[in-house]
Structure 1
Amino acid sequence: MSDLAELERLIRADSAERGQAVSKLGYFCAPFRPSAGPLSDKVIKVYRGLRNVAELERLAQCHDDYVAALALTGVDLPETAFHLLQIDGARIPVIVQDALPSDSMMRPQIIAADLDGAVEMMEAAGQVIATFWNNADKVDGRVGFHPSIRNFAYLDGKALFFDTFPPLIHYSRDEMGKMLLTFSDKRLMRWVGPFLQKKVTGIQDEWYSAPETLVGLVGSACRLRPDDSDRFLEWGQDFARRAMPRWAEEAIPEMKAPPKLPAYWTGFRKVLGLQGEPNV
């Protein structure tokens, strides 16, 4: 049986045969890792199917281009492949990615580490952010990056980014805003989102801003470990000066106090049950 045939079989299978979900609270899907078989060393991410063939083919091309853009800017990814599978009358986007060790997710490690260890992980993640933005000029067109703590693993002293959906390349701001609704795994979001399209569209703005991605990383750490916020803020300001000087003037004032999520996004997260678990 080919890997694609096995992939289709697993998508049709029940949850017991699929294996344990490795993340329950992602915005777009709940990735899973098969418990046995030829894909047991992979994480599988299944997204909502669409009948618009042109839209899906564009998505596939943008995903390939985004993986290439991450490589061009120096961001390492686990081996990642995008497929469009024909299932029950719709084409289903599926991402298959080399699995990472379950204990390598950065978020729980930052929570459990001593303070010096947590700052070392922040430094590792920060270096990935700086590498991307310091090289983003090599990429043609609009390109973004979503380096939240939950989108990193931490292995052998290095941060490894693994989130490629939605592919933050080529799409305009308005198009990306609509994608956030189209591919949401939450039916409630698809129902109420169109009435709040302007606010939903704004969710992405941080991902396309070099200083805001760094500020967002620091804000996440402060929310995870509020008692250690001063240390994370100190680290963030220092990191901006030495690793991202082009954006330091803009980033540093946002790290004088613990950065907060926009109120509307906090509300969305509570309603949708999203609590920042690793989005592997």
Structure 2
Amino acid sequence: MISTETREPAIRVQAITKSFKDLHVLRGVDFDVAAGSIFALLGSNGAGKTTLVRILSTLLKANTGTATVHGFDVSSAPGEVRRSISLTGQFAAIDDMLTGRENLVLVAKLRHMKNPGTIADDMLARFSLTDAGNRRAATYSGGMRRRLDIAMSLIGDPPIIFLDEPTTGLDPQARIEVWQTVKELAKGGTTVLLTTQYLDEAEQLADRIAILHNGRIIQNGTLAELKQLLPSAKIEYVEKQPTLEEVFLALVGDDAASAGEESR
């Protein structure tokens, strides 16, 4: 991962508030995200995660407070912010009538990139979708659709990507595929702000985790730092039973993905 010791935060949020009439969604949110890191914003449904992402991506204005993304103020320099980011929402924004490759070519052309076909082929290879590139996106499995969606978001190499609950509704195998994709992004130097309501997702992926509750960040730290908030664990010898997810993955392995391919 790229060293971030001497670099300014890729994202800085200071005292952000947002209300919708009498509903106070964000009540003074503060945090920094280091460049090249994965930052998980963890909270239950309705905690304000998506609202905050919409503010940081310039789709919504905060009532008070300031935020900078890639060094640009989201309020005074929204155009520069948009050129620096990509946003992947909770639902894949792909055209089911087009093939995977055609979706990528379309986005490359919309971004006025040179050699859109070459870019599409490179992205298909990067996200292990080459074999499915000429199939209609409607035939893709959930994990493949999400990987294609993220690939489309990365055309143009944005330094910062927002992933708003990227694994909602995915099966266990597809979730692991997306997790691996996110890890690879960070290894390549991309800053990732991830919102999730899944505790295991934050634990698996994040360099730092902020817990958003009732419109405020109630804790922010590494996984190790957050674990220190509770009393030290006792050492006991107990029989460890496998989780249902471990059983499922052990039984199906890679066959889940291949079965999905063959059935289409």
Higher strand share: 2
Higher helix share: 1
Based on CA coordinates, which of the two structures has the bigger radius of gyration? Answer: 2
TM-score (norm 1): 0.28
> Greater relative contact order: 1 or 2 (C-alpha under 8 angstroms, separation 6 or more)?
2
